[in-house]
Amino acid sequence: MPIRVLLVDDHELVRQGVASMLAKAEDLTVVGEAKTGREAIETARKELPDVVLMDVRMPDMDGLEATRRIKEERSRTAVIMVTMHDNPAYLREAVRAGAAGYLLKDVSKDDLIDAIRQVATGGAFIESQMLKGMLSEMKPGSATPSAARNLTKREREILALVAEGLSNREIADKLVLSPETVKSHVAAILEKLNVSDRTQAAIYAVRNGLVESSTAS
């Protein structure tokens, strides 16, 4: 089945341009468009996209708040913020809101399609150092949520390394496993924690005390 994509931007020309780019990829399909944050929530509710390309600045409701609300309703929907501004503050707020990462609006067609494919399978777009900095600012909770109790010892071990910002290959090298085995474990972790991507899994882990706070420092 093709990856279902929702386009959110207040400029029609931008939406048309992105839709034209994505039309070239047989494994992607645009299931809806929205020009405000509120429209994005309503359309996501109706069309159930796998990935949302979300503008940051829009009238009515900005992309950050729209992302929060969409993730509250459908936590497995992946959101990529798309912005003109290469601003770390935007990225931090976006990831805290539930985004898998962000792209600049001058992104190439190939990089855009690759990003959509990656987040649709649990990948993320955020530098490891920035992820560590964000996680170090978070205070862990005291109680372990029921979803986390279903993780195996190996899955907890891998989750801790995900929270360090390590890639699947780096985790595989560290634990002497194959990258495919790590990929399968990460997929199981996302499923059990009911999150869309590895960035949100790392945030979940720290917020819920599943990894030591020093892991993210």
pTM score? 0.85
List, by residue range, all CATH 3.40.50.2300 domains of the chain.
Answer: 3-126
Low-confidence stretches of the chain (pLDDT beneath 50): 213-217
Domain 132-216, CATH class in plain words: mainly alpha
Superfamily of domain 3-126: Response regulator (3.40.50.2300)
pLDDT tens column, 145-181: 677 788 999 999 999 999 888 889 999 999 999 999 9
Give the CA angle between residues 109, 120, 32 to the nearest 5°.
Answer: 70
22/155 Cα distance (integer angstroms): 34
Which residues are paired to 29 by β-bridges?
Answer: 4
Residue pair 23/134 in contact by the 8 Å Cβ criterion: no
Which residues are paired to 83 by β-bridges?
Answer: 104
